[in-house]
């Protein structure tokens, strides 16, 4: 079954305040595959990346230059980038956790980079071997060198709503850490609900706090996990507040290898279905994307967690 066969209703805008167009930041090839138990072969990753771009996604996060000891699934970053056929008009960002990762990225001629920070002390120590404030000692040389090299830079901020060790995270703490990332030169800050505990009220509160601190919502993105089934509701809230970039993962792949309670990311297909129904432009062909996620699910040996993929694939 295809999206066309379902007979979608006429686009019905959900009300004023929503954007006319949304940028989908596809994270399936990096954030999605990094949590797999078995290493996915390079050839399979490359076909996945090529299929995602062919489906109309304009930003396809590709890999991470993290140490292979910590995320062995991404130890093949150089091979993936070397074999990648870059489609015109498509960005292929990579994650760089530290200066060593930056060295590898620059050697691979990558100029679209992201750093990964924590909004809480405990997760910073567990994930980055650093503290909430001292993590910036690691980020500063990375961001300054990246800017000097002319690279685009994004900042990921994890545990923005809840931390399994610390509980609910104060919004003002998240804003303080996020502002420091933006001050280092990040063009965009992605707010991560790493363990999927956020609800729409929390999302609205955090975005209001960023606005009150003078941060433009155009510089923010959202990154929700669907642990408690709230990812789409949280995304809708963020869009209503003025956020225009949403992270999602084809087929709902992924989680966080450092947070055991984290389940899959918001599925790109579920997001696209909602945006289509609201008449919000995004540029993605849903049928092609569903075919891609069905193809990948078969190769991973399990069904896709995306409700839209399951519905359309029959």
List pLDDT tens digits, range 67-105: 888 888 999 999 999 999 999 999 999 999 999 999 999
pLDDT at 257: 45
169 falls within a domain? yes
- The sheet that has 152-158: what strands, in order across it? 59-60, 23-26, 245-248, 220-224, 188-193, 152-158, 112-118, 94-95, 63-64
* In-domain check, residue 184: yes
Question: In this structure, is residue 198 part of a structural domain?
Answer: yes
Residues taking part in catalysis: 256
Inside any domain, residue 64: yes
In a domain, 13, yes or no: no
Has residue 119 been placed in a domain?
A: yes
Parent domain of 307: 3-7+23-313
Name the phi and psi angles at 2, rounded to 5.
-110, 165
Number of structural domains the chain divides into: 1
In a domain, 306, yes or no: yes
Angle between helix 200-212 and 171-183 (nearest 10): 50
pLDDT tens-place string over residues 133-158: 999 999 999 999 999 999 999 999 99
Taking residue 213's Cβ as centre, other Cβ atoms within 10 Å add up to: 13
pTM metric for this prediction: 0.94
Mean of all residue pLDDT scores within the chain:
92
Q: Is residue 280 included in any domain, yes or no?
A: yes
Angle between helices 286-300 and 268-278 (to 10 degrees): 160
Which pLDDT does position 25 carry in this prediction?
98
For the cut 70, the answer to whether the pLDDT of residue 124 exceeds it is yes
For residue 205, the domain's CATH number is 3.20.20.70
């Amino acid at each position: 079954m295809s999206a066309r066969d379902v007979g979608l209703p006429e686009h019905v805008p959900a009300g004023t305040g929503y954007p006319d167009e949304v940028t989908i930041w596809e994270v399936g090839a990096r954030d999605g595959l990094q949590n797999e138990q078995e290493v996915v072969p390079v050839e399979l990753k490359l076909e996945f990346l090529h299929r995602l771009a062919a489906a109309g996604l304009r930003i396809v996060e590709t890999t991470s230059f993290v140490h292979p000891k910590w995320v062995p699934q991404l130890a093949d970053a150089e091979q993936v980038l070397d074999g990648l056929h870059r489609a015109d008009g498509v960005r292929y960002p990579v994650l760089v956790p530290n200066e060593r990762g930056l060295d590898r990225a620059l050697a691979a001629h990558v100029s679209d980079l992201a750093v990964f920070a924590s909004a809480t002390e405990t997760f910073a120590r567990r994930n980055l071997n650093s503290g909430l404030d001292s993590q910036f000692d690691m980020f500063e040389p990375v961001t300054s060198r990246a800017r000097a090299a002319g690279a685009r830079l994004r900042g990921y901020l994890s545990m923005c709503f809840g931390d399994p060790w610390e509980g609910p995270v104060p919004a003002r703490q998240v804003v303080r850490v996020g502002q420091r990332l933006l001050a280092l030169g990040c063009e965009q800050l992605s707010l991560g609900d790493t363990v999927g505990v956020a609800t729409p009220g929390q999302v609205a509160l955090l975005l209001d706090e960023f606005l009150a601190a003078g941060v433009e919502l155009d510089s923010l993105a959202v990154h929700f996990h669907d642990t408690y089934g709230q990812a789409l509701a949280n995304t809708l809230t963020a869009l209503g507040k003025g956020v225009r970039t949403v992270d999602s993962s084809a087929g709902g792949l992924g989680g966080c290898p450092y947070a055991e309670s984290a389940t899959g990311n918001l599925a790109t297909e579920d997001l696209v279905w909602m945006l289509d129904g609201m008449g919000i432009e995004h540029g993605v062909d849903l049928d092609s994307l569903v075919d891609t996620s069905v193809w990948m699910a078969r190769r991973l040996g399990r069904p896709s967690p995306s409700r839209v993929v399951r519905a359309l694939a029959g």
